[in-house]
Structure 1
Amino acid sequence: MSLFQNLLVIAFLVIVSAFFSFAEIGLASARRIRLQQMIEAGDARAGRVLALQEQPGIFFTVVQVALNAIAILGGIVGEQALSPFLASGLHSLFGPAPWIDTAGLLLSFLLVTSLFIIFADLMPKRLAMTWPEQVAVLVVKPIGFCLAVLKPVVLMYDGIATGLFGLLGIQINREDRITFDDVSAMVDAGTASGALHKQEQHLIENVFELDTRTVTFAMTPRDSVVFLRLQDDDQQLKAKISDHPHSKFLVCDDHIDSVVGFVESKDILKRTLNQQAISLNRELVVKNILAIPDTLTLSELLERFKVTNQDLALILNEYALVVGIVTLNDVMKTLMGDLVSPFTEEQIVRRDEHSWLVDGVTPVEDLKRALDLDALPHEEQYQTVAGFLMFQLKKIPKRTDSVEFAGYKFEVVDIDNYRIDQVLVTRLSGQSD
Structure 2
Amino acid sequence: MFELAVAFALIGLNGAFALSELAVVSSRKSRLRTMVEARRPGAHAALALAEEPGRFLSAVQIGITLVGILSGAVSGAALGDRLTAILLDLGLSKGLADGLGYGLVIAAITYLSVIVGELVPKHVALRDPEGIACRVAPAMRLIARVAMPAVWLLDASTRAVFRLLGQEASSASAVTEEEIRTIVAEAETAGVIETDERKMIAGVLRLGDRAVRGVMTPRTDVHWIDLDRDETEIRAMLMASPHARLPVGEGNPDNMLGVVQLRELVRPLMENEKVDLRAYIRPAPVLPDTLDALDALSALQAAEVPMALVHDEYGHFDGLVTPADILDAIAGAFHSEAQEPEAVQRQDGSWLIAGWMPVDEMADQLGIKLESSRDYETAAGLVIARLQRLPETGETCEIAGWRFEVVDLDGRRIDKILVSRLAA
What TM-score do you get using the length of structure 2 for normalisation? 0.91
Moved more, 414-423 or 175-184: 175-184
8 Å Cα contact 2:245-2:260 kept in structure 1: yes
Q: Which residue of 1 aligns with 2:284?
A: 289
In structure 2, C-alpha distance between the alignment counterparts of 1:53 and 1:125, rounded to whole Å: 17
Letter in 2 for 1:380: R
Q: Which residue of 2 aligns with 1:196?
A: 193
CA offsets 1:41-82 (integer angstroms, 9 cap, x no match): 221411111112232222222211221111111112343333
Going from structure 1 to structure 2, the CA distance change for 1:150 and 1:410 (only over 3 Å counts) comes to same
In structure 1, C-alpha distance between the alignment counterparts of 2:163 and 2:384, rounded to whole Å: 52
CA offsets 1:243-299 (integer angstroms, 9 cap, x no match): 322112222223323323332212321212333112546xx4333332222212211
Q: CA deviation at 1:124?
A: 0.6
1:306 and 2:301 aligned: yes
Letter in 1 for 2:57: F
- 1:13-52 correspondence to structure 2 within 5 Å: 13-52=10-49
In structure 1, C-alpha distance between the alignment counterparts of 2:17 and 2:354, rounded to whole Å: 58
In structure 2, C-alpha distance between the alignment counterparts of 1:261 and 1:80, rounded to whole Å: 90
Letter in 2 for 1:405: I
In structure 1, C-alpha distance between the alignment counterparts of 2:382 and 2:293, rounded to whole Å: 21
8 Å Cα contact 2:77-2:102 kept in structure 1: no
In structure 1, C-alpha distance between the alignment counterparts of 2:167 and 2:295, rounded to whole Å: 39
In structure 1, C-alpha distance between the alignment counterparts of 2:131 and 2:281, rounded to whole Å: 63
Q: Which residue of 1 aligns with 2:396?
A: 402
Gaps of 5+ in 1: none
8 Å Cα contact 1:413-1:422 kept in structure 2: yes
Matching residue within 378, 382, 390 for 2:384: 390
SS at match of 1:256: strand
CA offsets 1:144-170 (integer angstroms, 9 cap, x no match): 332343334333433444444455554
SS at match of 2:152: helix
Matching residue within 218, 237, 241 for 1:240: 237
1:72 and 2:69 aligned: yes
In structure 1, C-alpha distance between the alignment counterparts of 2:264 and 2:22, rounded to whole Å: 67
In structure 2, C-alpha distance between the alignment counterparts of 1:100 and 1:420, rounded to whole Å: 85
8 Å Cα contact 1:233-1:279 kept in structure 2: no
Going from structure 1 to structure 2, the CA distance change for 1:31 and 1:87 (only over 3 Å counts) comes to same
Matching residue within 237, 255, 263 for 1:266: 263
Q: Which residue of 1 aligns with 2:417?
A: 423
- 1:19-418 correspondence to structure 2 within 5 Å: 19-88=16-85, 90-91=87-88, 95-96=92-93, 98-166=95-163, 169-173=166-170, 175-280=172-277, 284-337=279-332, 341=334, 345-352=340-347, 354-375=349-370, 380-418=374-412
Letter in 2 for 1:54: E
In structure 1, C-alpha distance between the alignment counterparts of 2:314 and 2:142, rounded to whole Å: 70
In structure 1, C-alpha distance between the alignment counterparts of 2:7 and 2:35, rounded to whole Å: 37
In structure 2, C-alpha distance between the alignment counterparts of 1:277 and 1:259, rounded to whole Å: 22
Identity of aligned pairs, percent? 29
CA offsets 1:400-421 (integer angstroms, 9 cap, x no match): 1111222211111211111111
SS at match of 2:374: helix
In structure 1, C-alpha distance between the alignment counterparts of 2:280 and 2:158, rounded to whole Å: 75
Going from structure 1 to structure 2, the CA distance change for 1:301 and 1:8 (only over 3 Å counts) comes to same
SS at match of 2:254: coil
Q: CA deviation at 1:12?
A: 1.3
Going from structure 1 to structure 2, the CA distance change for 1:387 and 1:19 (only over 3 Å counts) comes to same
Letter in 1 for 2:305: Q
Q: CA deviation at 1:241?
A: 2.5
8 Å Cα contact 1:234-1:279 kept in structure 2: no
Going from structure 1 to structure 2, the CA distance change for 1:296 and 1:82 (only over 3 Å counts) comes to same
8 Å Cα contact 1:78-1:109 kept in structure 2: no
Going from structure 1 to structure 2, the CA distance change for 1:66 and 1:429 (only over 3 Å counts) comes to same
In structure 1, C-alpha distance between the alignment counterparts of 2:256 and 2:335, rounded to whole Å: 33
SS at match of 2:42: helix
Q: CA deviation at 1:135?
A: 0.9
In structure 2, C-alpha distance between the alignment counterparts of 1:267 and 1:169, rounded to whole Å: 67
CA offsets 1:28-52 (integer angstroms, 9 cap, x no match): 2111011111112221411111112
Q: CA deviation at 1:22?
A: 1.0
8 Å Cα contact 1:368-1:375 kept in structure 2: yes
Gaps of 5+ in 2: none
Letter in 2 for 1:291: V
In structure 1, C-alpha distance between the alignment counterparts of 2:370 and 2:119, rounded to whole Å: 40
What TM-score do you get using the length of structure 1 for normalisation? 0.89
8 Å Cα contact 2:284-2:303 kept in structure 1: no
